[in-house]
Amino acid sequence: MIKFRCELFREREDDLIKKLKSGHQDILNGLEDIEKGVREGNLTKGSYAKVKAKARVFQNKLLSYLGKQNFEFFQELELFFQGEHQELKMIEFLKKDLNDTKVQVITFFELHPCDMGDVNPGNFSKDFFRLGRDLIVRIKVEEDYLFSLLERLIVPVHGISLSDIN
DSSP string covering 78-147, please? HHHTTT-HHHHHHHHHHHHHHHHHHHHHHHHHHHS--STT----TTHHHHHHHHHHHHHHHHHHIIIIIH
The residues, any chain, with a CB within 8 Å of residue 128's CB and separated by 6 or more, are 34, 35, 38, 55, 108, 112
Q: Provide the pLDDT for residue 37.
A: 85
The predicted model gives 18-25 an average pLDDT of 94
The predicted model gives 26-38 an average pLDDT of 93
CB 8 within 8 A of CB 73: yes
The residues, any chain, with a CB within 8 Å of residue 131's CB and separated by 6 or more, are 104, 105, 108
The predicted model gives 19-34 an average pLDDT of 96
Q: Give the model's confidence band at 115: pLDDT under 50 very low, under 70 low, under 90 confident, else very high.
A: confident
Beta bridge partners of 155: 3
pTM, to two decimals: 0.81
Assigned fold of 2-154: Four Helix Bundle (Hemerythrin (Met), subunit A) (1.20.120)
pLDDT digits (tens, 9 = 90+) for 62-100: 999 999 999 999 999 999 999 999 999 999 999 999 999
What residue segments make up the domains of the chain, in order of their start? 2-154
Percentage of the chain surpassing pLDDT 70? Answer: 77
